[in-house]
Chains A and B, each alone.
Chain A
Amino acid sequence: MPQNDTIAELGLDEYGYDFVTDDKPVFKSRKGLDEEIVRQISAHKEEPAWMLEFRLKALEIFESKPMPDWGGDLDRLDLDEIYFYVRPQDRMEHSWDDVPDEIKETFEKLGIPEAERKVLAGVGAQYESEMVYHSLREEWEQQGVIFESIEDGLKKYPDLFREYFSTVVPTADNKFAALNSAVWSGGSFVYIPKGVKVEIPLQAYFRVNSEQMGQFERTLIIVDEGSEAHYIEGCTAPVYTTDSFHSGVIEIIVKPNARFRYTTIQNWSNNMYNLVTQRALVEEGAYMEWLDGNLGSKLTMKYPSCFLVGEGAHGQILSIAYASDGQHQDTGGKVVHVAPNTTSQITSKSISKGTGRASYRGLLKVYEGATAAKSNVECDALLLSETSRTDTYPYIEIDEETASIGHEATVSKVGDEQLFYLTSRGLSQEEAMTMVVRGFIEPIAKQLPLEYAIELNRLVELEMEGSVG
């Protein structure tokens, strides 16, 4: 697999050079996970032998790697307490009554339809959009677009699947990628054929026969030469699950001259550790954009990446994080320039409220030979109170003299004069604060499809409730 070799040769695995860690083993027991469980998962999914081997190898790698000691505080993440594979039917067992009132209230305030609420809360079966979906699916099928659950992708398109699977995020990339490789379940498999332009965004909602979004979802997307598509994962409504650990892997291959955008908006319940590896390989003249929104969770560690491996490739990362009381958003982006004339832009916006903490962690790497590479990084943080916190960790490594790099970081507080100005026009303190925050995220919100932008704005309003004394 040539791409795998490329990554190995370049030494791009995360542990190799950027987010450094000590070699201290944290694991003693692995009560929640062993070979038997991995075999069960594979058998349950009726997988080919190569996938079982792949999983078992991944398990070994997972066990051999220490927990990362950078980023957020993972000390309280107790993997012994985690069920590594839960069959979809078991996942449904809790009832609507078990869903906490505050989550129900938020659904209510967001005006989410009843059926959708239940899915979001993990107590319903399938988002009832079959009718909408049906006509879309016919259209996609005519274009040759493949949009399946990851399990069905493996079953129905074994050769295509195997050609690309794990080529962008190698198993050994990081501890949680290895974990995901061992126990993955759920996620999407997408293939956009050459020259096809998909107008309507592919939404994970619409996927039929899919399992609920898993704790260890795995998504593989191949965007073939000259094609265009937009994929949307998640939604702005809070996701309630009884799980407390989500560790996904998203792999995307953008072939020459293709354009692709991947949008994630996630709003986890505040007990969640959300550790996701998402990466795109961007080939000659291709364009990749990550639009990544992180709300909720206890700790999120997520750095969407673009590896610009073909001449003239462009990578774009727009990320927004909202850290409320007790939450830590450790997010940002990574761009690796390998080929000449590659360009990239990282725009990160974070908001910290109460005791929330938002960290920007970015890596920009330009290899020798990536002549005339250009990159610009902008990260802006907004603090809403004296107790909220923000940090910036920009890692920049440039081995090419002709590269041109810009980095700009700002930290601002909602100013008393701004609030006085807005309140003097009739807005309450809370409305004024919300307006400043909405303005702050506007550059990213306006990139979203309208219904998402509206939901995001409403969500920010809800988050802002009671934020001023």
Chain B
Amino acid sequence: MPDHLLEISDLHVSLEGEGTEILRGVDLTVGSGEIHALMGPNGSGKSTLAKVIAGHPAYEVTRGEILVNGESVLELEPNERSRAGIFMAFQYPAEIPGVTIANFLRAALNARRDDDDEIDVFAFHQLLQDKMALLQVDPDFSARYVNDGFSGGEKKRNEILQMAVLEPQLAVLDETDSGLDIDALRIVSNGVNTLAEADEKLGVLLITHYKRILQYIQPDHVHVLIRGRIRESGGPDLADHLEEHGYDWLKEETEAVPAGGA
């Protein structure tokens, strides 16, 4: 059996230095070219899962495994995971005043190349222009400081632009739809679809609270995370069911499971 792009098994996670488990045994597999939506109520651990995949230092994996292309990434630093093909689009991207998007992205590209093989300035400029054209981003955008004073929509577009330039194998989109008005949501969703079409091997884990974004990005699989565990997996129709019935029916089922059971 070929290795999956992302294979998470029995993942248990707590905040570094604290006992309370946030993820309590997550199993999730994403294959190349697949789009998975991970849904769930607030506080279920969705964003934690995204950050743990990207290697956020505040979290401690106490049990379980994360494999990317069959290799464990648990011991890798965030930058090494990035170079291994993981990209996370942040829910709340940090602002880096004084650093232009162009300079940032050039540094990020060079960080995954050898010291004596840095990308040519003109070649980079062309690449960036091409990606911005592909995503229909204004050419002046890359001269702005990273997320500095950006609107919510601009921040998310910047995430998608970075994804386009860095060409990951696995994109984890953490609540990319939150805080976006309908126009911004459409633009960002189009961006993701464009990139998924351009690279048919791209695997996407789309984390969202609402079904709204799934009207624009069609998932192959939908999972529901409740209290740190995947409670339900299914096809796109699961999202419709959630839209109609909310999460409560799953919560009740979860409560019904005896402690230590299953």
Task: Tell me the A residues contacting B by CB distance below 8 Å.
Answer: 415-418, 420-429, 431, 435-436, 438-443
Q: List 14 A-B contacts (CB under 8 A).
A: A420-B54, A423-B77, A424-B78, A424-B79, A424-B81, A426-B82, A428-B77, A429-B77, A431-B111, A435-B99, A435-B107, A439-B97, A439-B145, A440-B97
Asked if B79 and A427 sit within 8 Å, CB to CB, the answer is: yes
- B residues 79-94 in Cβ contact with A at 8 Å: 79, 81-83, 87-88, 90, 92-94
Asked if B94 and A426 sit within 8 Å, CB to CB, the answer is: no
Q: Whole-angstrom distance from the CB of B79 to the nearest CB of chain A? A: 5
Asked if B98 and A439 sit within 8 Å, CB to CB, the answer is: yes
Interface size class of B (residues with CB under 8 A): 20 to 34
Please tell me which one of the listed residues A415, A416, A428, A438 contacts residue B99 in the complex, with CB atoms under 8 A apart. A438
* Measured CA separation A425–B105 after assembly (Å): 8
Residues of A within 8 A of B92 (CB): 417
Residues of A within 8 A of B78 (CB): 420, 423-424
Nearest A residue to B163 via CB reads A425
Instruction: Answer whether residue B104 sits at the interface, using C-beta atoms and an 8 A cutoff.
Output: yes
Task: Tell me the B residues contacting A by CB distance below 8 Å.
Answer: 54-58, 77-79, 81-83, 87-88, 90, 92-99, 104-105, 107-109, 111-112, 145-146, 162, 166
Residues of A within 8 A of B54 (CB): 420, 424
Best-surrounded residue of A416, A417, A429 (most CB of chain B within 10 A): A417
Asked if A424 and B55 sit within 8 Å, CB to CB, the answer is: yes
* Measured CA separation A426–B76 after assembly (Å): 12
Asked if B111 and A427 sit within 8 Å, CB to CB, the answer is: yes
Residues of B within 8 A of A438 (CB): 98-99
- Other than the known A417-B94, A421-B90, what 16 A-B pairs have Cβ atoms closer than 8 Å? A415-B94, A418-B94, A418-B95, A420-B54, A422-B104, A423-B77, A424-B54, A424-B81, A425-B104, A425-B162, A427-B79, A429-B79, A431-B107, A435-B96, A442-B97, A442-B99
Asked if A439 and B111 sit within 8 Å, CB to CB, the answer is: no
Asked if A427 and B97 sit within 8 Å, CB to CB, the answer is: no
Residues of B within 8 A of A427 (CB): 79, 107-108, 111
* Measured CA separation A167–B99 after assembly (Å): 43
Asked if A439 and B99 sit within 8 Å, CB to CB, the answer is: yes
Assess A426 versus B166: contact at CB under 8 Å? Given A418-B94, A418-B96: yes
Nearest B residue to A412 via CB reads B97
* Measured CA separation A428–B77 after assembly (Å): 9
* Measured CA separation A415–B58 after assembly (Å): 13
Asked if B111 and A428 sit within 8 Å, CB to CB, the answer is: yes
* Measured CA separation A441–B97 after assembly (Å): 10
* Measured CA separation A429–B108 after assembly (Å): 12
Residues of A within 8 A of B93 (CB): 421
**Leading 6 A-B pairs by shortest Cβ distance:** A439-B98, A442-B98, A439-B99, A421-B94, A426-B111, A426-B82
Q: Whole-angstrom distance from the CB of B221 to the nearest CB of chain A? A: 24
Residues of B within 8 A of A418 (CB): 94-96
Q: Whole-angstrom distance from the CB of B116 to the nearest CB of chain A? A: 16
Q: Whole-angstrom distance from the CB of B207 to the nearest CB of chain A? A: 15
Nearest A residue to B79 via CB reads A423
Nearest A residue to B51 via CB reads A420
Nearest A residue to B97 via CB reads A439
